[in-house]
Amino acid sequence: MTPDNPFSTPSDLPYRLPPFDRITAEHYLPAFTAGMAGHRAEVEAIATDPEPATFENTLVALELSGDLLRRVSMVFFNLTGSDTDDRLQAIEEEVAPLLAAHSDAIYLDKRLYARVADLYERRADLGLDPESAWLLERYHVQFIRAGAQLGEAEAEQLKAYNAELATLCTTFSSRLLADTNDLAVVVTDAAQLDGLSAGAIAAAGSAGEPGVYTFPLILPTEQPFLASLRDRALRERIHAASVARGARGNEHDTSDLIRRIVTLRAQRARLLGYAHHAAYQISDNTARTAEAVAEMLAQVTPAAVANACAELAGLQEIAEHPVAAHDWAFYTEQLRKQRYDLDEAELRPYFELERTLVDGVFHAAGRLYGISFAERHDLPVYHPDVRVWEVSNEDGTPLGLFLGDFYTRDSKRGGAWMNTFVDQNALEGTKPVVVNNLNINKPPAGEPALLTLDEVKTLFHEFGHTLHGLFSDVTYPKFTGTHTPRDFVEYPSQVNEMWMLWPEVLANYAVHHETGERIPAEVIDRLQAAAKFNEGFASTEYLAATLLDLAWHTLTVEDLADPEIIADVAAFEERALREAGALLAEVPPRYGSHYFAHIFTGSSYSAGYYSYIWSEVLDADTVEWFKENGGLTRENGDRFRQTLLSRGGTADALSYFRALRGRDPRIEPLLDRRGLNR
């Protein structure tokens, strides 16, 4: 790596923001190569240290190692999700197996594990503070889960599994992005667009030839345009494109990847001593066992499906033909208007992006936590659409940077997510640089971006993750921000959704972008009354995806000895949903297997998509706590920040909830919220 490579030294920009204006594709491979070599040398020095293992010369040293590799990885993998191209995809395919092998080389190092195990055996005599003691606990667990206790032959097999999985998951991501872009729906007859707002039509036509309108697909099965389009044939065409992704038998088909990924994951789990991949993944989450997750899903799925069936009957009463999956959103909006006098198309002018962000999301955070936001136009960004805010505490002390990347584009993967470019930790003295990615359709120049209710919810949700990252106040990098169990991490972000419809917050940001009129109080009342409307659909489509995830990842090595079980991905899906009682043609899963990026583009959500509803138990109970204690107050915000948001992964995650609530979580608030307690 040459000295002029931007990664050769830590960034000197505020908050160590990466120098995006200097980074180009050719800088990544040399930085990865140098970063892995440097990290290996640092780890080798720890493993061969002639001094007896101490907390400082082993665990603190491990925490401080790999700085260059960490810096290049955080930039690169953020950009492969939000602004990729052929060059970055080629680099990702090359480095993914190298990084997997690099991780294996560390966690399968017997010398290194021996030092950690020695410390663990002597832990009671080390005099560690609680966070340091937990760091030792987590390192010990992580080494064992990574295979440190395997024999030499088994360790070599594990390395082979990990390397191939890294390549397969990267390939899945590339194929899915390509097929999603290929399947964008193009319309040349403007008459077919009846029902869409003038702004939506202008946005669809802004990037193409005159008279050509393009509708890109978002990641979930349900596409937002279906709620407004009156042309049923076009609705069917958009829905068909959505569910066809990765399943067309072309070069972007993901079927072979799915079969191989689930097979390798099952074999790896068996090698590590687990019945299946779900058992391995969930054992280190708060749920602990796949059986506990299955029990909860069995508790809520029948009621969700029954509610969805009742909703279908209601839709059928106003439809002039049998309601199909591509009709659901359209007739739901008709019925919502009938019952609650709410029309999403008429609501959207009240939800302009800038106003929603500043006077809604930022306003609620300011009221709760006393923080403020100042936009920075002097800092480099990785794409012209990205914006940067400096975030400060009430006393003016700096918290970190928040980057907002809100618009969809061909170079961005679907969905919405939070990530970091720099993590907070006291050991290195760093403050967080957090980014939120959404996929809102960008309006034509000079036009406002008007949001759907679902997009407003997503904006509040992802900023909940941002607060978790910004408020991190931990010593060690391993515990920073959202580095918590997968089935806990969605909890704080889901709590933040509550402020979206909180009357004083909604009244502050829901302002008509043309007239300046604030949303009428009676409309707020109707929004509150309609909060559970269509909840059967929402619960069922989510649960169906969750059940698919578990079905794939509870397959054992013995199950997969019969290749016919997963030979046909669509048949496997249908069988799994039927057996779980969640097969409803009119309500397809939120993600079909062929485009289920959460579980097949990496391991973090595999056998973990249940995390949203598992976390929602904590969330719904916590919302009740806020309501019981006065709602949007600084006292409540400070308590939530100190008890939970600042703690990262420094202790058992459920202990945070118990400290806040004074007891274990109860499921009743969730059942009531989702209408599942009838």
Domain range list for the chain: 14-107+109-149, 183-244, 255-327+534-609, 348-529
Q: What is the pLDDT of residues 449-497, one digit of tens each?
A: 999 999 999 999 999 999 999 999 999 999 999 999 999 999 999 999 9
What is the average pLDDT across 46-55?
Answer: 98
Closest CA to 147 of 118, 119, 105: 105
Q: What is the pLDDT of residues 614-656, one digit of tens each?
A: 999 999 999 999 999 999 999 999 999 999 999 999 999 999 9
> Could you tell me the CA-to-CA distances from 368 to 157, 517, 645 in Å, in that order?
51, 26, 13
What pLDDT does 603 receive? 73
Average pLDDT, the chain: 96
Please report, rounded to a whole number, the percentage of residues in the chain having pLDDT higher than 90: 95
Domain 348-529 has CATH 3.40.50.300: no
- Report the amino acid identity of residue 566: I
pLDDT at 540 over 70: yes
266, two tokens: 């099952």
Q: Is the separation of the CB atoms in 268 and 161 below 8 Å?
A: yes
User: Cβ contacts of residue 84 below 8 Å, gap of 6+?
Assistant: 92, 177, 411, 412, 413
In 46-121, the DSSP E strands lie at: none
pLDDT at 292 over 70: yes
What is the average pLDDT across 601-623?
Answer: 94
Q: What superfamily would CATH give domain 255-327+534-609?
A: Neurolysin, domain 3 (1.10.1370.10)
What pLDDT does 677 receive? 79
pLDDT at 585 over 90: yes
Range 292-296 contact pairs with CB under 8 angstroms and sequence separation of 24 or more: 293/550, 293/610, 293/614, 294/550, 296/610, 296/613, 296/614, 296/667
pLDDT at 40 over 80: yes
Given 63, 92, 455, 462, the catalytic residue:
462
Q: Which residues pair with 511 in a beta bridge?
A: 518
Q: What is the pLDDT of residues 206-252, one digit of tens each?
A: 777 889 999 999 999 999 999 999 999 999 999 999 999 999 999 99
The Cα–Cα gap between 117 and 139 comes to 9
User: Cβ contacts of residue 585 below 8 Å, gap of 6+?
Assistant: 324, 325
For domain 14-107+109-149, which architecture applies? Answer: Up-down Bundle (1.20)
What pLDDT does 565 receive? 97
Torsion of CA 637, 639, 644, 647, to 10 degrees: 110
pLDDT at 305 over 70: yes
* H or E element at residue 538: helix 535-553
Residue-by-residue DSSP string for 369-411: H--EEEEESSS--SSTT-EEEEEE-TTS-EEEEEEEEEE--TT
Supply the pTM of this predicted model: 0.94
What pLDDT does 602 receive? 82
The Cα–Cα gap between 296 and 614 comes to 8
User: Cβ contacts of residue 578 below 8 Å, gap of 6+?
Assistant: none
**CATH topology of 255-327+534-609 equal to that of 348-529?**
yes
- Report the amino acid identity of residue 626: F
pLDDT at 593 over 90: yes
pLDDT at 678 over 70: no
Active site residue 462: yes
